[in-house]
Amino acid sequence: MRGILFILLFILFFLFSVHTLTDINQDIGLHFVLGKKILKEGLVPQTNLFSYTAPDFPTPNHHWLGEVFLYLGSLFYGLKGLIVFKAFMLSGAFIFAMLAFTKKDAGILGFLAGLISISILIDRTYVRPEMFSFLFLGWYLFVLYRQKSEKLLFTLPFIQLLWVNTHIYFFIGPVIYAIFLIQHYINAKPVTLKNPITLIGLAIVLVNFVNPAGWVGALYPLFIFNNYAIPILENISPFSLGAYNYPPLPLWALAAGISISVVGFIVNRKNLKNNIFGLGILAVGTALALLMVRNIPIFALIMLPVNIKNFYEAGFRPRNKFAVFGAAILLIILIPYVLNSNIYKVSGYNRTFGLNTPAYGEKAIEFIKDNNLHGPIFNNINAGSFLIWKLPGERVFIDTRPEAYPSDFVKNEYIAMQKDAGVWQEYSEKYSINLIFYAWRETKYTSWADMFLKNISNNKNWALVYLDDNIVIFLKNTPENSTVIGKYLIKANYK
């Protein structure tokens, strides 16, 4: 019966991960373009590259290999295929973490921990390089909890080599291995460089320097946020999400997971000396999750083996067949709610089950091409990567990589231009801006987006010529644009 619960949990999470490609307007287009460029040229760009405002700004590419994988996936299987691939990757991470600590009579413990973990993980089921990080983290947990198999330990340096070139979460590997070493030596085992476990740890550290940016890439997680001058929703602490109408399910599940984890260490306190590893990695996962909401899947994966082990060792081993049967029935009931998308509505997510790929700004791009419009383009951050992907002949003002732009530029030009009509006038002339391509739903998240759209709608030098559910386009009121403006002018009535 334990196996049935595990299979049902896997099916539930896999189905949860097969949903609308909601991140089509985020980084995915940029990843495709970079992946293609890397394969074609054989070089990994280390500068901004795609903007006309900061094209040469140093930008270490910390997920170049993930971009190559994503581009190849899109090339051979398309966007729908990538949704399925992503579901397998995330489910693989979940499986590894679930199987890291497993016992014959731990079925109900796995069910309870798995359900909480899934409720957290569904928040980050995106087609992005981070999915590789989740898979690698799952493998680390699987190997380190099954430390008796030394052969598996030798896989970790190779996994780390992939990780450092695939996604910026690579630093988690050396951190949790260091905690594993602490546990190893607490158990009265001598510290020696000849010990294979120590040598593996050294290899895990050293391979981080085998990346296109060398030591800069290896240390990049330490200073990537030094240049962030704009708040990104996914980088905000869960404590600060109240104003953003964030889906509550993963946040409540996170709170439940942290609470249960604390209880687990309390009830299993007699075995604390042998659970330093679990305590350490849980502390890391909790700290990361509370620091930024984008990190909560890290906690969700780590809490699985930690909690199953703690409660199992403390003697919580429910063997009641009715309890196991009830758990199975609950999972079977939940599956149809995923298939009919009702679970997303209840949870507050704007997605549906299936291989749906929204058009997003496709019609806006067609409008630009059909009318032979050209830049320089002013766009907001949420439209940048989509423009890079769909309008390769034009450079962007900014894109979804805040770290790829000088902080002074972001604060004093990009944001200031939207807040102040006078600053807009100054810099729009400096950059000779001819077209505005704006993802207007940003008004839900930033104050300056609302201010900008009000100002520009009342600016006689700019004409609204296109509007749909996602994108608004303004053209500069010039003789060159007069034909298009005369044909498509929309009376702006933004209040």
* Tokens of residue 207, six digits: 């391979």
Q: What's residue 494's pLDDT?
A: 63
Does residue 138 come out as left (phi exceeding 0), alpha (psi in the -120 to 50 range) or beta? alpha
CB count in 10 Å sphere of residue 359: 13
What residue type is 28 in one-letter code? I
Q: Which residues contact 159 (CB under 8 A, 6 or more apart)?
A: 136, 139, 140, 173
Alpha-carbon distance 36 to 45, whole Å?
12
Is the separation of the CB atoms in 74 and 80 below 8 Å?
Answer: no
Q: Which residues contact 305 (CB under 8 A, 6 or more apart)?
A: 97, 98, 100, 101, 141, 145, 278
- What average pLDDT does the segment 322-351 reach? 85
Residue percentage of the chain with pLDDT more than 90: 65
Does residue 137 come out as left (phi exceeding 0), alpha (psi in the -120 to 50 range) or beta? alpha
CB count in 10 Å sphere of residue 151: 7
- Check pLDDT > 90 for residue 148: no
Q: Which residue has 């962007």 as its token pair?
A: 396
CB count in 10 Å sphere of residue 56: 9
CA distances from 444 to 98, 246, 301, 347, 447 (A): 37, 11, 31, 19, 8
Q: pLDDT digit string (tens) for 182-191?
A: 988 887 666 6
CA distances from 91 to 86, 135, 273, 327 (A): 8, 8, 32, 20
Q: pLDDT digit string (tens) for 170-212?
A: 999 999 999 999 988 887 666 666 788 889 999 999 999 999 9
Please provide the DSSP assignment of 280-335 as one string.
Answer: HHHHHHHHHHHH-GGGHHHHHHHHHHHHHHHHHHTT-----HHHHHHHHHHHHHHH
Q: Which residue has 């906690």 as its token pair?
A: 299
Please provide the DSSP assignment of 427-470 as one string.
Answer: HHHHTT--EEEEEGGGGGT-HHHHHHHHHHHT-TTEEEEEE-SS
Q: pLDDT digit string (tens) for 4-47?
A: 878 888 999 999 999 999 888 888 999 999 999 999 999 999 99
> Mean pLDDT for the chain?
90
- Check pLDDT > 90 for residue 151: no
Q: pLDDT digit string (tens) for 211-264?
A: 999 999 999 998 888 888 888 888 889 998 877 888 889 999 999 999 999 999
- What residues does 476 pair with on adjacent strands? 462
> What pTM did the predictor assign?
0.93
Alpha-carbon distance 53 to 378, whole Å?
10
Q: pLDDT digit string (tens) for 118-140?
A: 999 999 999 999 999 999 999 99
CA distances from 36 to 42, 45, 70, 75, 82 (A): 10, 12, 9, 9, 16
Alpha-carbon distance 39 to 41, whole Å?
6
Alpha-carbon distance 375 to 55, whole Å?
16
Q: What's residue 233's pLDDT?
A: 83
Q: pLDDT digit string (tens) for 438-480?
A: 998 877 778 888 899 999 988 999 999 999 989 999 999 999 9
Q: What's residue 107's pLDDT?
A: 66
- What residues does 378 pair with on adjacent strands? 436
- What residues does 396 pair with on adjacent strands? 51
Alpha-carbon distance 463 to 474, whole Å?
5
Nearest to 410 by CA among 421, 399, 420: 399
Q: Which residues contact 141 (CB under 8 A, 6 or more apart)?
A: 96, 97, 100, 176, 281, 301, 302, 304, 305
**Chain-centroid distance, C-alpha 471:** 23
First CA to last CA across the chain, in angstroms? 60
CA distances from 55 to 381, 397, 464 (A): 16, 10, 29
